[in-house]
Chain A
Amino acid sequence: MAIYVIKRLLGIVAILAVMSVLVFAITQVMPGNVANILAGQFADDATIKAIEHKLGLDAPAYVQYWRWAGGVLSGNLGNSIIMERPVGPLIWEAFKSSALLAILAFIMVAVFGILLGVIAAIRQNRFADHAVSLFSYVGVSVPEFFWAIVAIIVFARYLNWLPSGGAGNISQGFWVWASHLVLPVLTLTLTLIAHVSRLTRSSMIETLRSNYVRNARAKGLPEKVIIRRHALRNALLPTITVLAIDVGWLLGNIVVVEAVFSYPGIGRLLLFAIERHDLPLIQAGILLIAAVYCFANLIADLLYAYFNPKIRYGHAES
């Protein structure tokens, strides 16, 4: 196990290194030039040249890359060209905001996804089951930005309960701070919950059909105890790995959701950086997101390897 983990960690480092070259190459062929953006529309060539020289953009590409990589290895992510501030704190602030959103959404998805899945499984082919399937089917079939807009129309405009975007500061009071999080979290939850609830449903149904559950029923245990003590624990094993995979999905969706709600997270920062060709910011943002994504996948694989034999033992196949 330890060797496997070390191998995977080295793999992640290698992937991130390759990716940094790739991102660098892509930004090299991007049209437009950060010096042009900085200098403004009416700047003459000499001004642009001077800015390029000041930023080191006139050096050959491999020299630029080497400067950047050397900086990163010594813990310096460089300066944002547009905002003229160190990238490290900028990214870290945005990352904390995004992580807050992601963690809240993740908890919601896990709790309600499992709950809905279990209810659907117990009430298989009855009204509650169909209602849950319909809800989750519609949830994944409509893009997250549309849910975001529907949520804004209903809760911010029509009912006027919640702010339609931005982020609150905790110093303005808890409610202001929390109220800015409700709609983005709700939107993220809605688009991701179907994965979890559908998988929980099917594995719960399978577990309820297994021999040991039949055994427990034959012993005369009440259905509640069977579900809580016997079935649920085994049925949830595959769900746990799917939850880890969902972290990756969450990272993708968060970019769009942050854009709709003008939420100051890493996705919006990255969009901002891409629009303005702010290379150090793009590099740091992409690498951070990719790193989180890779770790989430690693954890998913580890959990899967850890739980899989138990799942097999758990099934008393005839």
Chain B
Amino acid sequence: MIGSAVLLLLIVVAVAAPWIVPYRFDEMSILNRLKPPSLRNWLGTDEFGRDVFSRTLIGARLSLLMGFAATAVSLAIGVPLGLWAGYRRGRVDEIVMRSTDVLLSFPPIMLGLLLLAVTPPSLWKMIVAVGIVYVPSTVRLTRSVTLDLAGEEFVQAARARGERTSYILHAEILPNAWPPIMVEASLRVTFAILLGAALSFIGLGAQPPSSDWGLMIAEARPLIDRAPWVAIAPGIAMGITVIAVNLLGDGLREALDPRMHRKGG
């Protein structure tokens, strides 16, 4: 409950940010550099005199966008592959599973690093890279759910009716496979936000003058002696966002996972 309320608020703020912030996120003011928080700049200003409060709010958009878009990418690639591998079995399954083995033997951030090292960095490339990082786990989960469902009677019935494979996957298996996939995906969102921020922090994600939180913290790092607020504001914002999404994920799991009900009741 708290999670969804905070997240809703965050989404509203993120969507409305350009209209509610007191300053533009890239509006510089050379006379106002590294000012501590005040009535004029609620969270102070950074080294270019940009308003930290405005930048942090705008950053919420990027962060949420990154989390949800990267998760969407991993679902868009992973779910069809998982369905296909789990239903067709045999060689297709073998090839898909061995590929996920290879991808899973990198620590996530390494895979992100490698994918991003190929081209000049940008926010969109990072979203795709983070999405790809989480494709293997999506594939595995979808496959295992599909394997279970493929043995169910309603699937066998559909097969006996002579339905096409694409119909069975789409209309019979997928609707029943969604709940566990969604629970997993809600956890992925926070991992994606954190991984994306780490990549931006290293310099392989969003580029200046973007107000991505990871990038903001990286830019504030050399100045933490004189202006710690520039680094602290986006850090706390990220903490709140991740906790809200996590709480939402926990709620989702309780609502959708029948095993949790049995344990609780």
Q: Please give the residue numbers on chain A whose beta carbons come within 8 Å of chain B beta carbons, in ascending order.
A: 11-12, 15-16, 18-19, 22-23, 26-27, 29-31, 137-138, 140-146, 149-150, 152-153, 157, 248-249, 251-253, 255-256, 259-260, 270-271, 274, 286, 289-290, 293-294, 297
Contact = CB atoms under 8 A, between A and B. Distances in A.
B224 to A, nearest CB: 5
Contact of A30 (B118, B198, B224, B246): B118
Interface string B109-121: 1100111011110
A15 B110 CA distance: 15
B107 A293 contact: yes
A137 B243 contact: yes
Given A26-B114, A30-B118, A260-B221, A290 B235 contact: no
A259 B194 contact: no
A142 B146 CA distance: 34
Interface residues of B, number: 38
Interface stretch (B46-54, B88-96, B98-106, B171-179): B98-106
B239 interface: yes
Those 5 A-B pairs whose CB atoms lie nearest each other, nearest first: A252-B107, A146-B235, A141-B242, A142-B239, A252-B109
Given A26-B117, A29-B118, A256-B202, A150 B109 contact: no
Given A23-B114, A26-B114, A293-B107, A149 B221 contact: yes
A77 to B, nearest CB: 18
Interface majority SS (helix, strand, loop, mixed), chain A: helix
Contacts of A152: 224
B105 A15 contact: yes
19 contacts: A11-B101, A30-B118, A31-B119, A31-B120, A140-B242, A142-B239, A143-B214, A145-B214, A145-B217, A149-B235, A150-B235, A153-B231, A252-B108, A252-B110, A255-B107, A256-B109, A270-B110, A271-B202, A290-B105
Interface of B: 101-102, 105-110, 113-115, 117-120, 190, 194, 197-198, 201-202, 214, 217-218, 220-221, 224-225, 228, 231-232, 235-236, 238-239, 242-243, 246
A280 to B, nearest CB: 15
Given A26-B114, A294-B105, A138 B224 contact: no
B101 A141 contact: no
B102 A153 contact: no
A145 B201 contact: yes
Contact of B107 (A18, A138, A274, A289): A289
Contacts of A252: 107-110
A21 to B, nearest CB: 10
A149 B117 contact: no
Contact of B117 (A22, A137, A249, A274): A274
Given A248-B107, A290-B110, 12 more contacts: A23-B114, A30-B117, A30-B118, A143-B201, A143-B235, A145-B201, A145-B214, A146-B235, A149-B220, A251-B110, A255-B113, A289-B110
B143 to A, nearest CB: 18
A143 B110 contact: no
